[in-house]
Structure 1
Amino acid sequence: MTIQENEITTGPKDLGIVEKNATVEVGEVKDLNIKNADLAMEVAFQSYGMEIDEATNRKILRKIDLYVCGLMGIVYAVQYLDKITNSFASIMGLRTDLHISGSQYSWVGSAFYLAYLVFEFPASYSLQRFPIAKTVGAFIIAWGFVLCMTALPKNYGGFITTRIFLGMLESAVTPAFVLITSQWYKSEEQFTRMSFWSGCNGLGSIIGSLTAYGLAKRQEAGTLPIPGWRLLFVIVGVITIALGIVFILVIPDVPTKAWFLTKEEKLLVVERIRTNKQGFGNRNFKMDQVKEAFTDMRLYLNFVVMILIEIPNGGMTNFQSKFCLYFKRKRNLKKRKIDKNREFTNIFLGILLTGLGYDTLGALKMSAPQGAVEFVGLILVGLLVSRFQHRMFIAVLGTLINIVTGCLLAFPKSHKAQLVGYFLFGLSPICFICYLSCISSNTAGHTKKVIFSATTLIGYCVGNLIGPQTFIATQAPTYTSAKIAIVVCYSLSLVIIGLTYYLNSRANKIRDEKNERLPADFVNAEFADLTDFQNPEFRYAL
């Protein structure tokens, strides 16, 4: 089929789709105006019947990976850099300059996630109601501005206020990226892409670590115009604002408006995702899908598992620099008599950790190896899933690694074993990625997907709220309770993963046995905004 060099036209205005706000049994279809269908429906009538050969598919996929997934990875790296900047700043003089106590610093991390939690539903709602790329781009620009303003506070109250606004604004990014990934990629491609852009957190950690180290060196030399930690916030904020502008210019709100695709490729993108049985999205907020979401057991499993896996993350994100400083001091105490200037052995990926005495410079550098483990490790995990398509097995494997990580941090007396545990913590997001991909692949119906995404990320916030509180100031620098909490939380999350797998595999088996189908004359049913409960042909990815 050849596409003429003219604008893509819309399809029929009336077609068989599920009626808005109606209670619909599996397979039941009613007639209604196209506005209640998916955004892809209008174009689907032109693309219907088109076939895409493997070479063309690879060409389109390369373009999507370059412009969409690549930019999401960069933004996600900077988002994580924004989150951990206060961790670097805390050992660059922030706590001293603003007179922040240990218990107050714990609330700095919790305040961010409390604001994230409160604003999650409004942010997710705005992503459905308004053009998604422009909306998330505006959020990015706004949080970049707030980050720049974080350099101004003179006391604890002013600083924690900026963290609250930052949490509110960053609440839109992850749900937006889940929705964008489901727009552009087939179900079997989504985990790999989420592993990439989520793994870019590690890239953010590397960049942040080395930037903070460089500023700290300049600060020691007395060549900075303002304190290094304040300049760090300004630099990262300006980068974030620039990325927000680029995001708006590069990422289209729907794939059929992509400037980097030809007319024919825009239609073929629709056919690529037809097997997802989901489409691009729907801007009508449907109460029947809201009700269905809250009757779906998966929603509650997602919520609980997020709390469990994010309690460790919430603590480590805010206290990782203190862990680094603790490890360096233990290492130096042992080796100082042998050779003060001797380099650490090569631990991961050829990255050398240098012993530099009791100052904070080495502690700042030590976040880089963990970031490298996360960046490389998560991408490799994504490639593994793309080959074998068993994401829940990978979630179990990742959680077992996390349990080992927690044990290495909590129980050995050897600082070498603890340091290995600290670096392995870079692989902790594996389970998080798995559940994000389940929202993307296993939750059909756009409003239902938005509810699932928001609720899951509220669980993410609750876990990150609790996490910093497990770091009890009186236990510094060992933080024993926090390390034990890591082991307990990951162990409990294994149970939730098992229940999720059982629920999805059982649902698939029942549907296979019933072998129900939608009406044969229901054209483009894949883009009718049916939920996974309403569509008997839907199968859950395992």
Structure 2
Amino acid sequence: MSDSSVNKDEKIVYNVVSFTEETLGKRDNVITTIVSPHTGKEVKITGDVDEAMKFAVAHAGQDVELTAARDRKLLWKIDLYLMPVICLLYCFQFMDKLSNSYASILGLRADLNMRGDMYSWTGSAFYLGYLVFEFPASRLLQRFPVAKTASCFIVLWGAILMLHSVPQYAGFIALRTILGMLESSVTVSNLIITGCFYRKEEVFLRVALWFSSNGLGIIIGSGAIAYNLVHDQENFSIEPWKLIFVITGSLTIGLGVLFFFHVPDTPAGAWWLTEEDKIMVVERIRANQQGFGNKHFKIKQFKEALLDHRTWLIFSYALFSNIPNGGLTNFGSILMTEDFGFTPKQALLMQIPEGVIEFVGCTFLAFSASYLVKSRMFWATFGTSIAVIGEFMLAFCSNSKARLAGLYLSFLLPIGFICLLSVISSNVAGHTKKVTVNAIYLIGYCVGNLIGPQTFLAQEAPGYRTAKICIVSFGTVSLVFLFAIWYSYWQENKIRDRNASKSEEELEMIENHEFADLTDKENLLFRYEY
């Protein structure tokens, strides 16, 4: 069992993981030595534990009462300082992705002599780079300070985006690929940071807020930037499509600098939290049975992630749900002009409702999971069902207004993706396992988005019948996987409740066991949120 002792030099030794050696196999023999700012004593922690363990042990003995009122005040403070910057990052990164779609109707295809499926490959190239670099990016974010590493990625991708205004087709494809490699860091970093600050039940709404800020990216990109560039294009010395890349790239670089100085790597490093606040944050997240993270790659957790059937259910959902997404992200503007008959200026304005529906709709569904029916999987499947109905309308309605309404409804589809991002954050424990499942999930996302543009066949313009049938088919399949994931978590919790044992009681008595970097399968006290 766990033990603590004081030797003649008044050194406190905590062995927080020895209780797991017999059942889980011998863990890494790691000893971390810190000096407690509270007692002034040297503290040694044995076992390869979570970063939060060091903070918890260093501040042992500092009693802070976390009342309901103080908890609400602290949550508001975290939201105020953290969420606007993360939401703005996701807004900008989606605006960066859509810059390709806007440019496609403002002269990009003509100026770069694109014919046949050449434009489709500008969309697929981005996700090819994303796919290749997803796991290395995830590993870098685990190994190095997460916010600082992410900010370096952000500044670099802003610079690459600005360079999109320079090359011919081959260079443009190369830049799209590099851009995808760099943007592969954003979702993982946001998810790690969110998981450090919020309880399980709070994660879904926060992930929905920053992910659905994609909708704000549509509103700003199409309405505030692209439309005004077209409207005043005679006042510019270079083509509007080139200016789109220059403007969005420069905004991204500025945000990367802000991210570097403002966003902490862990709550312990948050400049806007007092020492007492930091202790309360640690106490708040104990209920997650997880901490801040662990910088060491653990092969056992990696293998567990690969052998967990839920990993592959989650991967399958990401794959099938993002085939429609990849097509609509890159061909949304083209559908507006070729299928619905709008002028380029009208097409840019008509995309604003898409952003409104995604931001307001997805946020409302996540809000409902906190205050109405308290099940995020319920609201995810509900929202996805509405989106699939919209996809059927887009594919099979003869009336153009009904098709347009269907296109708008399909922008509720991200609610399922948002839900599973929050599921990974709260339901996958063990930092290496979490990073691995994140990477696999986003690889599925990449492959789906890579395939999506290829379903839009140039010879089928302007109706793109094959693409619309694929959108309906894969959207429906993704809904089936959502139900399967929901059932899997419900069943597992039932089994754990039924088989509750004395080992759980013993584990609960061990101080700071929540921060021992155990996986959800190793930790007998862990329960899944659905």
Write the letter of the residue equivalent to 2:284: R
| Residue 186 in structure 1 maps to residue 199 in structure 2 | yes
> Would you say the 8 A contact 2:339–2:462 is kept in 1?
no
One-letter code aligned to 2:523 = N
| Residue 449 (structure 1) aligns with | 434
Within 5 Å, give how 1:7-406 maps onto structure 2.
14-17=14-17, 24-25=23-24, 33=31, 34=45, 36-45=48-57, 46=59, 50-153=64-167, 155-210=168-223, 211-219=225-233, 222-326=234-338, 328-329=340-341, 359-387=343-371, 388-406=373-391
Q: Distance in 2 between the 1:23 and 1:203 partners?
A: 52
What does residue 409 of structure 1 align with? 394
1:109-153, Cα deviation, whole Å (9 max, x unpaired): 111001100000000000000000000010000000000111111
The answer to whether the 8 A contact 2:28-2:48 is kept is: no
* 1:512 counterpart residue number: 497
Report the CA distance between 1:521 and its aligned residue: 4.6
For residue 242 of structure 1, what is the amino acid of its counterpart?
Answer: G
CA distance in 1, matches of 2:484, 2:60: 39
If the length of structure 2 is used for normalisation, what is the TM-score? 0.91
Tell me the alpha carbon deviations over residues 386-409 of structure 1, each in whole angstroms, 9 at most, x when there is no partner.
123211111211221121011110
Cα drift, residue 53 of structure 1: 0.9
Equivalent positions of 1:424-443 (< 5 A) are 424-443=409-428
Provide closer, same or farther for how the CA distance between residues 15 and 228 of structure 1 changes in structure 2, counting only shifts above 3 A: same
Deviations 1:428-469 (A, max 9, x none): 101101111110010000000000000000000000011001
Q: Deviations over 1:259-311 (max 9, x none)?
A: 11111001000001000001000001111100111110011101111011000
Q: Secondary structure at the match of 2:330?
A: helix
Corresponding residue of 1:354: none
SS of residue in 1 equivalent to 2:514:
helix
Shift of 1:523: 1.0
Where 1:99 maps in the other structure, the secondary structure is coil
Local SS of the residue matching 2:16: strand
The alpha-carbon deviation at position 256 of structure 1 amounts to 1.2
1:488 aligns with 2:502: no
TM-score (norm 1): 0.89
| Aligned-residue RMSD, C-alpha | 1.9
CA contact (8 A) 2:388 2:413 kept: no
Q: Please report how far the alpha carbon of residue 31 of structure 1 lies from its aligned counterpart in structure 2 after TM superposition.
A: 8.0
1:425 is displaced (CA, Å) by 2.1
Q: Distance in 2 between matches of 1:376 and 1:66?
A: 19
Question: Against the structure 1 CA distance between its residues 359 and 395, is the aligned structure 2 distance closer, same or farther, given a 3 Å change threshold?
Answer: closer
Cα offsets for 1:220-263 (capped at 9, x unmatched): xx210211111110000000000000001111111011111111
CA contact (8 A) 1:14 1:32 kept: no
SS of aligned partner of 1:14: strand
Residues in 1 aligned to 2:210 and 2:66: alpha-carbon distance in whole angstroms: 27
Aligned AA for 2:359? F
In 2, the alpha carbon distance for the partners of 1:435 and 1:149 equals 34
Q: Is 505-514 or 44-53 further displaced after alignment?
A: 44-53
The residue number in structure 2 matching 1:501 is 486
Whether the 8 Å CA contact 2:366–2:376 is kept in 1: the answer is no
Do 1:19 and 1:36's aligned partners in 2 also have CA atoms closer than 8 Å?
no
Work out the CA distance in 2 between the residues paired with 1:140 and 1:14.
39
Look up the match of 2:404.
Answer: 419
**Rounded Cα–Cα distance in structure 2 between residues aligned with 1:12 and 1:436:** 39
Change (3 A) 1:327 1:19: farther
Which ranges of structure 2 fall in alignment gaps of 5 or more residues?
1-10, 32-44
Cα deviation 1:370-421 (Å, max 9, x = unaligned): 1111111111111111123211111211221121011110111101101101
For the residues of structure 2 that align with 1:359 and 1:500, how far apart are their CA atoms? 43
Paired-residue identity, %: 47
- Retained in 2: the 8 A contact 1:17–1:32? no
Alignment partners' CA distance in 2, 1:365 and 1:399: 25
* Partner deviation per Cα, 1:74-114 (whole Å, 9 max, x = no partner): 00000000001010001000111111123010011111001
Amino acid at match of 2:496: R
Alpha-carbon distance between aligned partners in 2 of 1:12 and 1:264, rounded to the nearest angstrom: 23
2:320/2:474 contact within 8 Å kept = yes
Gaps of 5+ in 1: 1-10, 330-357
Higher RCO (Cα < 8 Å, 6 or more apart): 1
